[in-house]
Structure 1
């Protein structure tokens, strides 16, 4: 098993130029050792010492075997450093290049990949430069739990300076926050733990499930995370326990638990781009729900659409915020208007497998990229609600789990799947993509400027108190009906 389950791009300039190396003080180190219990195991210590001795003996034997003799020349001298070799004019040990790779340039992007390999789970932090085309792992963070989803955030109530954090949802139901700028960290900055389960006694068989759980957290795997960029101390999580939780980073606790949105696991969530109180969620119960989080458990604040297959992903159209897109397990993509429509604005068969990646570009109008379990990535033009297929590419990743666009270069996408690690694609290398969207790319500079301006706004302390201006109706997807109409 060699899986990338989720990805998070980090925009240029968000990371520290010189990452900090974690150095625990003696008390912290002892505490970590006590938690692991490994240092108290004498047998383990003896085994490690024996392994070191065996390796040393093997290295000595190899050194003897590797003495090289050339007739008429004599033995070739081996020096510990190039600086000690009198025959070398350039005394370069390669140390400068390694040091240079450690620093992060202002025009570098970071990509955090949730990587699971056999029994080992980690977060791999990649450095990517779009102009020069280099990609390499800068450092990694070992994890105790299997990571399933990621979201980047730059909010810390205790730090007035810019921060570079990633929240990680795990198979076990916990949510952990890590500092991406901290190298060699041994544990998360903070953990929002899974609900604690109390053992049931025979006398409490008829007691409710709520009485057997703590008041915070999820009961099952965390499947998606999304950070609210308008109310910056809030991020949301969805879970296989069919609930959504809102977390307050200013108090480091759960702010709201939404338990009545769906009947099955919630696979995708997304905040509205301009109305901070509205959250979109998609579930395996074949429904998409838009909820007003100011009173989220009130059914009158929940608006629902029903489809003919399990929901995989949901996303908003930033060029028309009354419209959202959703993808399904049977390979379809739907665009819905949240106001008064009862049928899709458009829908089409995108893939032969589950559509796990749904990236509607926020910088280039109409540019939609989808990825799927059918191992393909496709580019579509959906401008003016007309769907046109543009290009297709297959990656050696097997089934694709994650697809995400670079926040600084709208033609560059990152993918991760069941094998072959992280993949990067600049789709503008395709002539059809370049011809179709090249003239629209001028919107990139406008959008980036607007995002930069928005980022400098003061922190919003709570959800807006004004009433929502949109309405929506219950929808039963009519794919067959709409396809006949299109014919």
Structure 2
């Protein structure tokens, strides 16, 4: 399944990405971490009394010494031989090693051709895809060539757990922190409590450039799920980079806290605990640098100044919050999408003693949870929603009178992500539970053109383009559609199904809106 998407603007990515080369110190670090993981796993088994002593002491298996099968010779494995260097590689037998690629007769590399294939042109967008398949999670860095409508995977990197949130940023961290200019990074929130930040211009990277939060598993086991002032202790569910104060990243977590991170220091500088349940989403205000918006499973949305976190305004909604979004075309307003299938539009100025007033309008958008929501970055009034009901809908929300323009099943299963491209007029990326991502050129749809285009544009007929996707093997897991429910159940600690919109006569192609 694909759980999150993020676009990268044209001209941001390095034309020729660099290839990461591990040093001897990093090999040693990898060995140390692998050994620590094994020791931690052993300790967990001992603590939970899961070691089957009868199997370990079985006379038929005694010669195999299973209890010490992963112990190096240096630690005493009985062979009397001492192993040097990274043991994770030194026990491999029967392999031939060469000093460089030119000595390897099995390789016939054309370096110029390979470099050309890795090249990213200034006319290309990158599409970041958070994907999980067969319990393996990674970020696919895809290139979209708009001139030829071509979408392909350029490179990827592995993740430690199921990804829940992506946020692109151009603040340099890690090895390139001292270099001038902006960068090309992605922050990733997963079921693990830490936040990884990866350099998208580096191929074959073994480690993220920066990790926010603790990676000490023993410490995390002791405080798992309990709020902590310095780091998250449960899944990181939402991320938002402050484009006005570029060294600040906000995160929301299942540990009920929202945290503010200083990217230049790699440390948490503020922790907020105004919600009483898992915090699903966080977003900085587009122009007020210190103001943020959060939404949680306590059925509340909060707006506050990060410098004065005790002065909080909050709004009640009908169900768990799926996402919040400031209206970038009218920054005194914001959208809230909920699990009930509704989208509400609030005025931040309509507050009395910290309690928010009624919504400006309520849009019953889908029969199931609104799991994706985005607005066009340049054209006011264009709102897109996606849902577990497998549809994507385009709305005209101008003048606070929402109406549906278009509804379509993009064939991605339950829709978990939808984002407009920042460069193209009406290009939308969608993805969902079946592990497929699609790029949809809405500008070629007649209904969209007639609604949001001028008279001359609407009168000019065009051939609507099909949705563009990455080609995958035909034998992919057919059960991918069920994975979202498992993820939600794990976050909630229950197997409850999403609630449906309570609107009489509502179906997948008919939606309701009301003004208050």
Q: 1:302 aligns with which of 300, 312, 317?
A: 312
Superposition pairs for residues 163-178 of structure 1, below 5 Å?
163-178=183-198
The structure-2 alpha-carbon separation of the partners of 1:134 and 1:266, relative to structure 1 and needing over 3 Å to count, comes to same
Q: Specify the alignment match of 1:405 in structure 2.
A: 420
The structure-2 alpha-carbon separation of the partners of 1:364 and 1:255, relative to structure 1 and needing over 3 Å to count, comes to same
Q: How many residues align?
A: 394
Query: Are the equivalent residues in 1 in contact too, given 2:373–2:417 (CA < 8 A)?
Result: no
Q: TM-score, normalised by structure 1?
A: 0.75
Aligned with 2:443: secondary structure?
helix
Q: Measure how far apart 1:179 and its partner are.
A: 0.3
Q: Whole-Å Cα distance in 2 between the matches of residues 177 and 355 of structure 1?
A: 28
The structure-2 alpha-carbon separation of the partners of 1:249 and 1:345, relative to structure 1 and needing over 3 Å to count, comes to same
Aligned with 2:181: secondary structure?
coil
The structure-2 alpha-carbon separation of the partners of 1:281 and 1:486, relative to structure 1 and needing over 3 Å to count, comes to closer
Q: Specify the alignment match of 1:158 in structure 2.
A: 178
Q: Measure how far apart 1:25 and its partner are.
A: 2.5
2:132 is aligned with 1:116: yes
Q: Specify the alignment match of 1:190 in structure 2.
A: 210
Q: Measure how far apart 1:213 and its partner are.
A: 7.8
Q: Whole-Å Cα distance in 2 between the matches of residues 486 and 41 of structure 1?
A: 64
The structure-2 alpha-carbon separation of the partners of 1:440 and 1:416, relative to structure 1 and needing over 3 Å to count, comes to farther
Aligned with 2:186: secondary structure?
strand
Q: Whole-Å Cα distance in 2 between the matches of residues 441 and 25 of structure 1?
A: 60
Q: Measure how far apart 1:440 and its partner are.
A: 10
The structure-2 alpha-carbon separation of the partners of 1:97 and 1:368, relative to structure 1 and needing over 3 Å to count, comes to farther
- Cα shift readout 1:97-117 (whole Å, capped 9, x = no counterpart): 754331101010111111111
- Cα shift readout 1:188-222 (whole Å, capped 9, x = no counterpart): 11111348665999xxxxxxx79x98641111100
Q: Specify the alignment match of 2:250 in structure 1.
A: 236
2:360 is aligned with 1:339: no
Q: Specify the alignment match of 1:13 in structure 2.
A: 11
Q: Specify the alignment match of 2:338 in structure 1.
A: 328
Aligned with 1:45: secondary structure?
coil
Q: Whole-Å Cα distance in 1 between the matches of residues 12 and 455 of structure 2?
A: 27
Q: Specify the alignment match of 1:382 in structure 2.
A: 397
Superposition pairs for residues 423-434 of structure 1, below 5 Å?
423-434=438-449
2:301 is aligned with 1:291: no
Query: Are the equivalent residues in 1 in contact too, given 2:361–2:514 (CA < 8 A)?
Result: no
Q: Measure how far apart 1:244 and its partner are.
A: 0.2
Could you tell me which runs of 5 or more consecutive residues in structure 1 were left unpaired when the two chains were aligned: 51-79, 82-92, 202-208, 443-478
- Cα shift readout 1:356-412 (whole Å, capped 9, x = no counterpart): 111122200100111011110000101111111101110222111111111112411
- Cα shift readout 1:239-279 (whole Å, capped 9, x = no counterpart): 011110000012111111001x2111111111111111110
Superposition pairs for residues 387-466 of structure 1, below 5 Å?
387-439=402-454
Aligned with 1:36: secondary structure?
helix
Query: Are the equivalent residues in 2 in contact too, given 1:195–1:216 (CA < 8 A)?
Result: no
Q: Whole-Å Cα distance in 1 between the matches of residues 308 and 11 of structure 2?
A: 37
Aligned with 1:144: secondary structure?
coil
Q: Specify the alignment match of 1:253 in structure 2.
A: 267
Q: Specify the alignment match of 1:454 in structure 2.
A: none
Aligned with 1:295: secondary structure?
coil
Q: Measure how far apart 1:126 and its partner are.
A: 0.3
Q: Whole-Å Cα distance in 1 between the matches of residues 304 and 513 of structure 2?
A: 32
Q: 2:87 aligns with which of 40, 57, 76?
A: 40
Q: Specify the alignment match of 1:218 in structure 2.
A: 232
The structure-2 alpha-carbon separation of the partners of 1:334 and 1:280, relative to structure 1 and needing over 3 Å to count, comes to same
Q: 1:355 aligns with which of 341, 347, 370?
A: 370
Q: Whole-Å Cα distance in 2 between the matches of residues 484 and 387 of structure 1?
A: 6
Query: Are the equivalent residues in 2 in contact too, given 1:364–1:441 (CA < 8 A)?
Result: no
Q: Whole-Å Cα distance in 2 between the matches of residues 398 and 485 of structure 1?
A: 29
Query: Are the equivalent residues in 1 in contact too, given 2:10–2:122 (CA < 8 A)?
Result: yes
Aligned with 1:127: secondary structure?
strand
Q: Whole-Å Cα distance in 2 between the matches of residues 234 and 377 of structure 1?
A: 32
